[in-house]
Amino acid sequence: MNALRVEALKLVRSPVGVVATLAVIAGTLALLGGITAAVAGGSPEVAAKAGPAAVQDWAGLLAGAAQVTAVGGLIGFGAVLAWMFGREFTDGTITGLFALPVGRGRIALAKIVVHLVWVVCVGVVLAGGVLALGLLLGYGTPDAAARAGLGRQVALALLTGLIVTPVAWIATAAHSVFAGVGGTIALVILAQVGSLSGAGGWMPLAAPALWAMSGGAEVTTGQLLLVLAVPVVFAALVCASWSRLQLRR
């Protein structure tokens, strides 16, 4: 619990956490508003690029939110996770952790848990923002399908936060924040490649976005459960790596 409190304070009081929170939430809502305005203005180019998000109703708004979150969430969540782990090496604070009574493996696990709690909070607030935006645009009270879509939006944020767990291991292995950020970019590229290749459902990095954007129609439960293997494997690797860390002269 002490480790959780300390890591939570680090994230809450850091400019990185504040900026990333605003970027994911405000940035997504701003993009959705811009897309809606462009489509309403009769821009055929924007309508063609937006795809399902070009429809001016709850379905279109939620499709656009899923598209933006799939990419923006990967970048934002991955960047914060890279900072949470990499900063200890970059700032030289890793040496002080060796004197603490709490094991370094538990500290690493606390970082991952705090990150996931933050991701859920961001996802809930973002879904609330999408709801408010839809009401402001005059789409009316959400029906059952729209409410299910808002639920998938929150779940998409959580799943996106889970699949960026490899970034923590990359930042740890390289002892660098920048390596973690580079790993985040690599995950985004791999997710896009998986989607374009048609293997999205079987590729954990792409499955959450495809599931949310298709309303659950194009991804099976088994494929979605496969996503959970990513955080389990890499969280274990990260905790093991932190447990075996040694001071360097």
Our count of domains for the chain comes to: 1
Range of the domain at 190: 2-243
Q: Is residue 84 included in any domain, yes or no?
A: yes
* pLDDT at residue 248 in the model: 64
* pLDDT at residue 232 in the model: 93
Per DSSP, 52 falls in state G
Q: What span, in angstroms and rounded, lies between the C-alpha atoms of 209 and 132?
A: 22
Q: Is residue 249 included in any domain, yes or no?
A: no
Q: Is residue 208 included in any domain, yes or no?
A: yes
Q: Is residue 116 included in any domain, yes or no?
A: yes
Tokens 């954007």 locate to 213
8 Å CB contact between 202 and 109: no
Can you tell me whether residue 145 is helix, strand or coil? helix
**Distance from chain centroid for Cα 219:** 19
* pLDDT at residue 97 in the model: 80
8 Å CB contact between 197 and 112: no
Q: What span, in angstroms and rounded, lies between the C-alpha atoms of 18 and 11?
A: 8
8 Å CB contact between 176 and 90: yes
Q: Is residue 248 included in any domain, yes or no?
A: no
Q: Is residue 88 included in any domain, yes or no?
A: yes
8 Å CB contact between 154 and 226: no
Q: Is residue 104 included in any domain, yes or no?
A: yes
Of 203, 168, 14, which is closest to residue 81 (Cα–Cα)? 168
Q: What span, in angstroms and rounded, lies between the C-alpha atoms of 185 and 74?
A: 8
Q: Provide the whole-model pTM.
A: 0.90
Q: Is residue 186 included in any domain, yes or no?
A: yes
pLDDT digits (tens, 9 = 90+) for 31-42: 888 888 877 776
pLDDT digits (tens, 9 = 90+) for 204-215: 888 888 888 877
* pLDDT at residue 247 in the model: 66
Residues in the chain with pLDDT values less than 50: none
Burial environment of residue 222 by CB neighbours within 10 A (0 to 12, 13 to 18, 19 or more):
exposed
Burial environment of residue 211 by CB neighbours within 10 A (0 to 12, 13 to 18, 19 or more):
buried
* pLDDT at residue 101 in the model: 80
